[in-house]
Chain A
Amino acid sequence: MPSAHENRALASAGAKISMVTSSDTSHPVDNMIDGNTKSFWMTTGLFPQEIIVSLPTLISITKIIITSTKVAHWTADISMNEKPNHFERLTAQDVDDGDQGFQLVTLNLPKSDNTARHIRLGITKGHGPFVSIHKIAVYGNEPTVPATGPAATEE
């Protein structure tokens, strides 16, 4: 059983990226979930950019840690459905520009119980025209409460 201190958002654990808003073949999407901080995914310009991480099972998320550069503002939404739709806003956070390059951002989760199947991370602003994301780490437990129907909030 995967423990609470394991990164769920790994391709080896079964997670995958369902959607990104910019793709470049030299820095593919899977670099974010391969567990390697050296490989990264890059945006190709314009904001906002979005990433949808799909976890293999329902997880009660306790922490989200992202390694990135030049991100100015994060937004995180979650969805409990099988398909990545009907997201609910989880949190939004401003990020300072990392002097040494990397930004290690731990998102502040407002609630303690955040069961989700899909996480939609949005970059609304950046400190530069392009942004790179090196690693996404999602820590969580087995869901304590069975997944209820999603609140129908249109995006």
Chain B
Amino acid sequence: MSTQQPDLKLISSTLAAPPFSKHYSAIQLHDEVPVLQLMQLITDAMAVIDEANPQSPHKKVDMRNEDPEESVLRVAVFLQLLKWKDAGDMDVLCQKLMEGDRTTILRVLYFLLKDLNQHKKRAYLAPFLASVDVPAEFVTGDLMRQVEELQEQFKDTHKAVDGVRGSGNSAALIKKDIQQLEDEKQQVQSKIQKIRKRVEEIPHHEAWLEAAKNLRLEQQNETEMAERIKEQRHQTLQAENRYTAALQELKDARSAIASGGPDALYIKMEEDNKMNKYLASENLPKQLDDAQQHLRELKKVLAEPAMGMQDLAALESQIRELNEGIAKLAEQRLAKTTKGDDKLALFRQQAAIILRKKEGTTVRLAAATEEVNALLGELEKKKEAAAAQGAKMPKGEEFKRYVAELRTKSTVYKRKKAELSALTAEFGVLQRTEEILASRQQGMEDSLTAMEKRHGVAGFHIAQETLEKVSERKAEVDEAKGRTLEEISGIITKLTTNINEKKNHLSPVIQELRTLRVQLSELESQYAERKRTYDATMAGLDSEALQIATDVKTFRQDISNDQSRYHYLNMQIALADVSHDRVMQEMKSYIGAGDEQFEQVQRQRGFKTYRELYAKRIQEQEILGKTLREQQKEVKVKHEPNVKQLAMFQDVRKLLALKAAHNKKILSGENKKDQPVRQAVQDRLVL
């Protein structure tokens, strides 16, 4: 059976969605849901898949009513229809389904639910495309062919329908696109209208439009032209390359011809061929091998860890040993071989020699060809340079002159070379003499020391030498000293002359400076004096100013005082006028002038003269005083007894109050009989 595990989650999610709308969780499917229900689910799935078929045997089948064999068969047939590859053997499947194997059922369910749409399609197509089972008697070639044709037609139309249906979704999109395009078209048209209106306002707008259109066309042309130019350039490049290659071939052919006829050509070609063969077969592979060997070695060296000096030394010793071994072995081999076949050895030697010669010649040949190529190249370059610069080859007169120049130059060169060689020879001779003299000196010194030793004055000549040297050096030092002294004196003289010069330069200026200094001192004294006077006057003026300021302040104060006094006095005058007026009025009233106005005023006031008024008032006051005095006398007389009476009345009041209180207490205290009531009975006379 297959290894595909049913994805229970997928099953449960697909079942939860319409058209099934059955909610089982994955665990439920795995464990709980009974087999019968699973079979029912399978049937329902098949029904859904087979929706298009009105005669579906799966529709509305209740598994409980159906015979299990029948249902299994139906399921198997349908699965075959759907071409389930994992089904394996049909019989085994049927058996498993009969047994109610959960895993099988779940796998079936998974398969059904996985590609629901695909199954639908297949279920729809299957009955049409299945080969029709026609009994033999009705079979005619035409009929079968017709059937096949029809099936083919059906396939085509179905594909077309599917295509259309598939693109049917895009019908909406296409409609939207159409709509958008229509909108854009409208917008563009409106824009064109607006621009046209604006353009029409401009004078000669047709001419402008023409010009703009032309410009646009020309720009397009320009781009095309640019592209074409690029193409053409490319092509020309290629043609040039081909031309140069062809030229090269032509040259080669020409040179081949020039070297002498077809035979020579043929021979040359044969030689070339042989050489190339040899190169190809032997040289190049050998080089390849060498290179590869080298590469391998390098790789090995790289792979190996870094070596120290000791390792290197060890390796070197190894190499030496191996080389010695190799040499020994070669000798042995040589001895062996020479012992044996002499003839062969001779031939072998010859072969070896010839091989080596061949290798050498090939190497030389390669070098020579390289040189030739290089020189040819240079020649070409020079020819080209010459051709570019024009005919620079000296002809006739120029050539003779050129040759003469060359001759002179060569003679000069030869002379100088001879001189140089003479000098070098001389140099060599001198060196040699120096060496000889040095050696001789050494010998002389030794003999001299021996002599000194004999005479008992060892180290004499050395001391003499050192003395001489010291004196030499002393002389040198003295010289140097002398020189420096001279220098210094020279410098000193220079400096003194400079100083004198500058002094002379400066002396007139110094004179001026002196006079100016005198002036300066005078001016300073003047300035000091003036400054003193200025300070004094300033101080005086300051104090004056201060004085004046204070004066001004006092004056201002005086002014304001006087002003206020002025106003005060004015007011007083006004007041005095008023009182004066009053007096005049009084006087008038005494005189009794018949002034009607005045009498009106008098009536307003309520009295005629102030005198009257005041007299009346005085009278009133006197009367009042009299009455008050009488009152006073009365009061004085009656004061003492009144006070006594007042005291007595007060006492009476007190007593009465006490009595009232007591009576109240008795009245209210009748309930409390235990309260001792004390009655102080005493005879009193109450007045």
> Which residues on the B side are within 8 Å of A48 (C-beta)?
570
User: For chain A residues 27-82, which have a beta carbon within 8 Å of chain B?
Assistant: 46, 48, 50
Q: Which of B240-248, B514-522, B559-567, B579-587 contacts A (4 or more CB under 8 A)?
A: B559-567
Q: How far is the CA of A21 from the CA of B560 in the complex (A)?
A: 8
Select which of B563, B567, B570, B571 is within 8 A of A23 by beta carbon: B563
Residues 1-33 of A, flagged 1 when their CB comes within 8 A of B and 0 if not, give 000000000000000000011110000000000
Taking the closest CB of chain B, its distance from the CB of A143, in whole angstroms, is 30
Taking the closest CB of chain B, its distance from the CB of A88, in whole angstroms, is 20
> Which residues on the B side are within 8 Å of A22 (C-beta)?
563, 567
> Which residues on the B side are within 8 Å of A23 (C-beta)?
556, 559-560, 563
> Which residues on the A side are within 8 Å of B559 (C-beta)?
23
Q: How many residues of A contact B (CB 8 A)?
A: 7
Determine which residue in A21, A23, A50 has the highest number of CB atoms from chain B within 10 A of its CB, and name it.
A21
Taking the closest CB of chain B, its distance from the CB of A51, in whole angstroms, is 12
> Which residues on the A side are within 8 Å of B567 (C-beta)?
21-22, 46
Taking the closest CB of chain A, its distance from the CB of B607, in whole angstroms, is 32
Taking the closest CB of chain A, its distance from the CB of B83, in whole angstroms, is 118
Q: How far is the CA of A137 from the CA of B571 in the complex (A)?
A: 30
Q: How far is the CA of A22 from the CA of B556 in the complex (A)?
A: 11
Q: How far is the CA of A95 from the CA of B566 in the complex (A)?
A: 24
Query: Quick one: closest A residue to B571, CB to CB?
Result: A46
User: For chain A residues 92-148, which have a beta carbon within 8 Å of chain B?
Assistant: none
> Which residues on the A side are within 8 Å of B563 (C-beta)?
20-23
Q: Tell me the dominant secondary structure on chain A's binding face.
A: loop
Give how many A-B residue pairs fall within 8 Å (CB-CB): 15
Q: How far is the CA of A48 from the CA of B569 in the complex (A)?
A: 11
Taking the closest CB of chain A, its distance from the CB of B587, in whole angstroms, is 24
Taking the closest CB of chain B, its distance from the CB of A22, in whole angstroms, is 6
Taking the closest CB of chain A, its distance from the CB of B155, in whole angstroms, is 115
Q: How far is the CA of A50 from the CA of B567 in the complex (A)?
A: 10
Q: How far is the CA of A46 from the CA of B563 in the complex (A)?
A: 11
Taking the closest CB of chain A, its distance from the CB of B215, in whole angstroms, is 74
Query: Quick one: closest A residue to B560, CB to CB?
Result: A23
Select which of B556, B560, B570 is within 8 A of A46 by beta carbon: B570
> Which residues on the A side are within 8 Å of B556 (C-beta)?
23
User: For chain B residues 540-579, which have a beta carbon within 8 Å of chain A?
Assistant: 556, 559-560, 563, 566-567, 570-571
Taking the closest CB of chain B, its distance from the CB of A102, in whole angstroms, is 26
Q: How far is the CA of A111 from the CA of B560 in the complex (A)?
A: 35
Taking the closest CB of chain A, its distance from the CB of B372, in whole angstroms, is 118
Taking the closest CB of chain B, its distance from the CB of A136, in whole angstroms, is 19
Q: How far is the CA of A20 from the CA of B563 in the complex (A)?
A: 8
Q: How far is the CA of A50 from the CA of B570 in the complex (A)?
A: 11
Q: How far is the CA of A22 from the CA of B571 in the complex (A)?
A: 15
> Which residues on the B side are within 8 Å of A46 (C-beta)?
567, 570-571
Query: Quick one: closest A residue to B573, CB to CB?
Result: A48
User: For chain B residues 360-416, which have a beta carbon within 8 Å of chain A?
Assistant: none
Q: How far is the CA of A84 from the CA of B595 in the complex (A)?
A: 43
Q: How far is the CA of A23 from the CA of B562 in the complex (A)?
A: 11
Q: How far is the CA of A21 from the CA of B563 in the complex (A)?
A: 5
Taking the closest CB of chain B, its distance from the CB of A126, in whole angstroms, is 14
Q: How far is the CA of A52 from the CA of B245 in the complex (A)?
A: 130
Taking the closest CB of chain A, its distance from the CB of B558, in whole angstroms, is 11
Q: How far is the CA of A23 from the CA of B566 in the complex (A)?
A: 13
Query: Quick one: closest B residue to A29, CB to CB?
Result: B559
Taking the closest CB of chain A, its distance from the CB of B549, in whole angstroms, is 15
Taking the closest CB of chain B, its distance from the CB of A30, in whole angstroms, is 14
Determine which residue in A20, A23, A46, A50 has the highest number of CB atoms from chain B within 10 A of its CB, and name it.
A46
Residues 306-319 of B, flagged 1 when their CB comes within 8 A of A and 0 if not, give 00000000000000
> Which residues on the A side are within 8 Å of B571 (C-beta)?
46
> Which residues on the A side are within 8 Å of B566 (C-beta)?
21, 50
> Which residues on the A side are within 8 Å of B560 (C-beta)?
23
Q: How far is the CA of A10 from the CA of B462 in the complex (A)?
A: 127
> Which residues on the A side are within 8 Å of B570 (C-beta)?
46, 48
Q: How far is the CA of A50 from the CA of B563 in the complex (A)?
A: 10
Taking the closest CB of chain A, its distance from the CB of B681, in whole angstroms, is 90
Q: How far is the CA of A22 from the CA of B563 in the complex (A)?
A: 6
Query: Quick one: closest B residue to A50, CB to CB?
Result: B566
Taking the closest CB of chain A, its distance from the CB of B568, in whole angstroms, is 9
Query: Quick one: closest A residue to B570, CB to CB?
Result: A48
Taking the closest CB of chain B, its distance from the CB of A26, in whole angstroms, is 14
Query: Quick one: closest B residue to A46, CB to CB?
Result: B567
Taking the closest CB of chain A, its distance from the CB of B289, in whole angstroms, is 122
User: For chain B residues 438-454, which have a beta carbon within 8 Å of chain A?
Assistant: none
Q: How far is the CA of A24 from the CA of B140 in the complex (A)?
A: 146
Q: How far is the CA of A3 from the CA of B411 in the complex (A)?
A: 125
Q: How far is the CA of A98 from the CA of B24 in the complex (A)?
A: 110
Q: How far is the CA of A24 from the CA of B163 in the complex (A)?
A: 111
Query: Quick one: closest B residue to A20, CB to CB?
Result: B563
Q: How far is the CA of A23 from the CA of B560 in the complex (A)?
A: 7
Q: How far is the CA of A111 from the CA of B372 in the complex (A)?
A: 147
> Which residues on the B side are within 8 Å of A20 (C-beta)?
563
Taking the closest CB of chain A, its distance from the CB of B577, in whole angstroms, is 13
Q: How far is the CA of A21 from the CA of B564 in the complex (A)?
A: 8
Query: Quick one: closest B residue to A25, CB to CB?
Result: B556
Taking the closest CB of chain B, its distance from the CB of A52, in whole angstroms, is 12
Q: How far is the CA of A23 from the CA of B556 in the complex (A)?
A: 9
Query: Quick one: closest A residue to B563, CB to CB?
Result: A21
Query: Quick one: closest A residue to B568, CB to CB?
Result: A46
> Which residues on the B side are within 8 Å of A50 (C-beta)?
566
Q: How far is the CA of A48 from the CA of B577 in the complex (A)?
A: 15
Determine which residue in B563, B570, B571 has the highest number of CB atoms from chain A within 10 A of its CB, and name it.
B563
Taking the closest CB of chain B, its distance from the CB of A81, in whole angstroms, is 20
Residues 166-192 of B, flagged 1 when their CB comes within 8 A of A and 0 if not, give 000000000000000000000000000
Taking the closest CB of chain B, its distance from the CB of A10, in whole angstroms, is 22
Q: How far is the CA of A48 from the CA of B560 in the complex (A)?
A: 16
Q: What are 15 A-B pairs at a CB distance below 8 A?
A: A20-B563, A21-B563, A21-B566, A21-B567, A22-B563, A22-B567, A23-B556, A23-B559, A23-B560, A23-B563, A46-B567, A46-B570, A46-B571, A48-B570, A50-B566
Instruction: Known pairs A21-B563, A23-B556; list 11 more (Cβ under 8 Å).
Output: A20-B563, A21-B566, A22-B563, A22-B567, A23-B559, A23-B560, A23-B563, A46-B570, A46-B571, A48-B570, A50-B566
Top 4 closest pairs, chain A to chain B, by CB: A46-B567, A21-B563, A21-B566, A22-B563
